[in-house]
Amino acid sequence: MSTDLKEALFGYTLRLGDTSLVLGHRLSEWCGHAPELEEDIALTNVALDLVGHARMLLTYAGELEGKGRDEDRLAYRRDVFDYRNHLLAEQPNRDFGHTIVRQFLHDAWAVELYGRLCASTDETLAGIAAKAVKEVRYHVRHSGDWLVRLGDGTDISHAKVADALGRLWPYTGEMFERDEAEQALVAAGIVPDPAELKAAWTARVEAVLEDATLDRPADGWMQKGGRRGEHSEHLGYLLAEMQFLPRAYPDATW
Amino acid sequence: MYTQGLDAKTEQGAQPSPRLVTEQETALQGRFQERVDAEEKIEPRDWMPEGYRRTLVRQISQHAHSEIVGMLPEGNWITRAPTLRRKVALLAKVQDEGGHGLYLYSAAETLGVSRDELIGQLLSGKAKYSSIFNYPTPTWADIGAIGWLVDGAAIMNQVPLCRCSYGPYARAMVRICREESFHQRQGYELMLALAQGTAEQKRMAQDALNRWWWPSLMMFGPSDNQSAHSAQNMAWKIKRFSNDELRQRFVDATVPQAEFLGLTIPDPELRFNAETGHYEFGAIDWTEFNEILKGNGPCNRERIEARQKAWDDGAWVREAATAHAAKRKQRALKKAG
């Protein structure tokens, strides 16, 4: 693999790993506080899967980078501007409906992405995707079912998820952004074309929104910046909490 | 995670009926005791004395509540676990506790009480949960100490429950014990990493041991001579060993583990008695235990408030799920009609 391509793949893997980690972290905040016991267990399951994906992806990113950074070095010793996650992932939980909308918008993307990454010409990435796709298929069913229940539940639940959908929709454009580096990865058959992903994601999202009796928001201005390390105010607090121990005791191993 | 000594004198309501009403009942009672004595399992549809049923509902639901409330002190560190491996392990552990709560509520439901009713009793303060979860987890070492000591004590208590006379409870405990012993090893391994780490980490580990040691000993409940219901629960084979026996077993198993870690048990009177082969330990401060039981522990209020908040915040979600299920049913009926 050429140096440029390797660097592009490092960036791509890091984005994917960071998105999984940050979203997994957000879901883990629910542990012990969900609306019912079954849901506590289910949300924790998804959080576990996402952190698991993050570990594989960050480990691989560290190998591609070749500077000796392992998963923990990457997770715990980077500040906000070096994080590359989607802005969607770092949005706070707010309420259960907001969490479900955020999760569904992400899961609908992840299931299409990992399904295609299984055929990546990069064997490691294909291997990670093959493991992840089985889990994200469950995730999208879980979040999609809840979105339908809440959208087509009571007036209150409908209003809550409709509001969340409006708030979060502007963060969905980022999932399909492309740049030159990514273009090269697409050309090499390493990653799928974002345009193709967007079409599949849109079809999936529209079908669930219809069942949920929710209107699809219009595609207006989209929030961007995650891939350049330009984040919302929320990520700093998330990292401050997550990174506390390794930052406070830099010489310790745990 | 755990149920504590259930036979504190402060607890009411588990006394067997003082007089038997009919001859038929006497016969049933006799037959019941014979089955228990023969180590047969009692199943939900079998006849059982009302006192047995009440004791089990109280014990199993208290155990279930302990699992659910127990998710909170450890959950406190999920977002701050210092490595991704530790984060995943802690998430999985707390999730296991939720799972234990789920099967225990199911076991209690076989005795004719609903989960919502039991949760209502927890939130109103009518039902108890293990007092150990009313202590705070201010540092990361608390996660290790809980796994090592609290789960360790829980295992001592729970392994005999796998042979409890009530079938659904005994079967739930088999699975729970398997997972608890995994948690206990994980907690010890976490403590080991701290004990072998930097001076600051070692200090953290010692501090956690100082705070969790005595509360862990209290988990076995009051001393045998203070215990109200032990004899009946033993006869019913709900309980197999006395509180003091189990506590002694725990001390004997745990002291060498602390020595291996290079940590000091916070008890100046602790010493090994070569004649008996057991460790002797200092007097437990039961005043503290009783105060916590009364609701005066450092976190009693926060724990119940957190459960109440989750319940209240989740009300609209549960209502929506019910409403949606009703709509689907209606649509299916319409389609069929």
- Distance separating alpha carbons of residues A171 and A105, to the nearest angstrom: 9
pLDDT of residue B22: 82
Q: Which CATH class is domain A3-215+223-248?
A: mainly alpha
- Distance separating alpha carbons of residues A55 and A17, to the nearest angstrom: 7
DSSP readout, B241-253? S-HHHHHHHHHHH
pLDDT of residue B224: 83
| Chain B CA closest to residue A251 | B198
Helix B167-195 with B199-218: angle, nearest 10 deg = 150
Contact B324 A153 (CB under 8 A): yes
CA within 13 Å, CB half, B285: 8
Q: Would you state the structure tokens that stand for residue A210, as one six-digit string?
A: 């219809």
CA within 13 Å, CB half, A64: 25
Per the DSSP assignment, residues forming a β-bridge with B272 are B279
Mean pLDDT for the stretch of residues A36-59: 97
Q: Three-state secondary structure along B145-206?
A: HHHHHHHHHHHHHHHHHHHCCEHHHHHHHHHHHHHHHHHHHHHHHHHHHHHCCCHHHHHHHH
For B30, the 3-state DSSP assignment is: helix
In the predicted structure, residue B87 carries a pLDDT above the cut 70: yes
Give the Cβ contact number of residue B37 at 10 Å: 11
Kindly indicate the confidence band of residue B4, based on its pLDDT and cuts at 50, 70 and 90: low
Q: Which residues of A touch B200 (CB under 8 A)?
A: 249, 252
Mutate to test the interface with A, among B87, B90, B96 (most CBs of A within 10 A): B87
- Going by C-alpha positions, the residue among A238, A199, A195 that lies closest to residue A75 is A238
Mean pLDDT for the stretch of residues B184-206: 98
Give the Cβ contact number of residue A240 at 10 Å: 13
- Going by C-alpha positions, the residue among B132, B120, B112 that lies closest to residue B72 is B132
Kindly indicate the confidence band of residue B9, based on its pLDDT and cuts at 50, 70 and 90: very low
Q: Which residues of B touch A154 (CB under 8 A)?
A: 316, 319-320, 323
Share of chain A above pLDDT 90, in %: 98
Q: Which residues of A touch B327 (CB under 8 A)?
A: 152
Cα B226 → chain centroid:
20
| Chain B CA closest to residue A161 | B317
* A93 close to A35: Cβ distance less than 8 angstroms: no
* B175 close to B21: Cβ distance less than 8 angstroms: no
Q: Which residues of B touch A92 (CB under 8 A)?
A: none
Instruction: List alpha helices for chain B, DSSP H.
Output: 23-37, 50-75, 84-109, 115-124, 141-145, 151-158, 167-195, 199-218, 230-235, 243-261, 286-291, 300-313, 315-336
Mean pLDDT for the stretch of residues B72-101: 97
Flag the least confident range among B17-21, B167-171, B193-197: B17-21
Give the pLDDT confidence of A171-212 residue by residue, as tens digits.
999 999 999 999 999 999 999 999 999 999 999 999 999 999
- Distance separating alpha carbons of residues A31 and A48, to the nearest angstrom: 11
- Distance separating alpha carbons of residues A13 and A59, to the nearest angstrom: 9
Q: Would you state the structure tokens that stand for residue B88, as one six-digit string?
A: 């995943």
Mean pLDDT for the stretch of residues B100-108: 96
* B175 close to B102: Cβ distance less than 8 angstroms: no
Contact B317 A72 (CB under 8 A): no
pLDDT of residue B25: 86
Contact A34 B314 (CB under 8 A): yes
DSSP letter at B278?
A: E
Exposure pattern of A160-196 as b/e (b: 16+ CB <10 Å)?
bbbebbeebbbbbbbbbeeeebbebbeebebbbbbee
Greatest Cα-to-Cα distance within chain B, rounded to the nearest angstrom? 81
In the predicted structure, residue A225 carries a pLDDT above the cut 80: yes
Q: Would you state the structure tokens that stand for residue A60, as one six-digit string?
A: 């691989």
Q: What are phi and psi of B119, to 5 degrees?
A: -65, -40
How far does the CA of residue B89 sit from the closest CA of chain A (Å)? 9
Q: Provide the residue type at A63 as one letter.
A: E
- Distance separating alpha carbons of residues A191 and A20, to the nearest angstrom: 17
Contact A41 B102 (CB under 8 A): yes
Contact A37 B98 (CB under 8 A): yes
* B29 close to B20: Cβ distance less than 8 angstroms: yes
**Residue B5 vs residues B124, B160, B215: alpha-carbon distances, Å:** 21, 13, 12
| Chain B CA closest to residue A242 | B80
How far does the CA of residue A76 sit from the closest CA of chain B (Å)? 8
**Which residue among B84, B94, B193 sits closest to A72, beta carbon to beta carbon?**
B84
pLDDT of residue A97: 98
pLDDT of residue B13: 45
* B159 close to B177: Cβ distance less than 8 angstroms: yes
Residue at token pair 């012993």: B181
Contact B71 A97 (CB under 8 A): no
- Distance separating alpha carbons of residues B279 and B269, to the nearest angstrom: 10
How far does the CA of residue A112 sit from the closest CA of chain B (Å)? 25
Mean pLDDT for the stretch of residues A35-45: 97
Kindly indicate the confidence band of residue B8, based on its pLDDT and cuts at 50, 70 and 90: very low
pLDDT of residue B321: 98
Mutate to test the interface with B, among A33, A94, A146 (most CBs of B within 10 A): A33
- Going by C-alpha positions, the residue among B194, B247, B219, B209 that lies closest to residue B1 is B219
Kindly indicate the confidence band of residue B6, based on its pLDDT and cuts at 50, 70 and 90: very low
**Which residue among A29, A47, A254 sits closest to B82, beta carbon to beta carbon?**
A254
Q: Which residues of B touch A149 (CB under 8 A)?
A: 320-321, 324
- Distance separating alpha carbons of residues B325 and B330, to the nearest angstrom: 9
| Chain B CA closest to residue A73 | B83
pLDDT of residue B10: 39
DSSP readout, chain A? --HHHHHHHHHHHHHHHHHHHHHHHHHHTTTT-SSSHHHHHHHHHHHHHHHHHHHHHHHHHHHHHTSS--HHHHHHS--GGG----HHHHS---SHHHHHHHHHHHHHHHHHHHHHHTT-SSHHHHHHHHHHHHHHHHHHHHHHHHHHHHHTS-HHHHHHHHHHHHHHGGGSGGGG---HHHHHHHHTTSS--HHHHHHHHHHHHHHHHHHTT-PPPP-------GGGT---THHHHHHHHHTHHHHHSTT---
Opening angle at CA A189, ends A185 and A195, nearest 5: 70
pTM greater than 0.90 (yes/no): yes
Give the pLDDT confidence of B10-22 residue by residue, as tens digits.
344 445 555 556 8
Query: What are the extents of the domains in chain A?
Result: 3-215+223-248
- Distance separating alpha carbons of residues A236 and A47, to the nearest angstrom: 20
Per the DSSP assignment, residues forming a β-bridge with B273 are B278
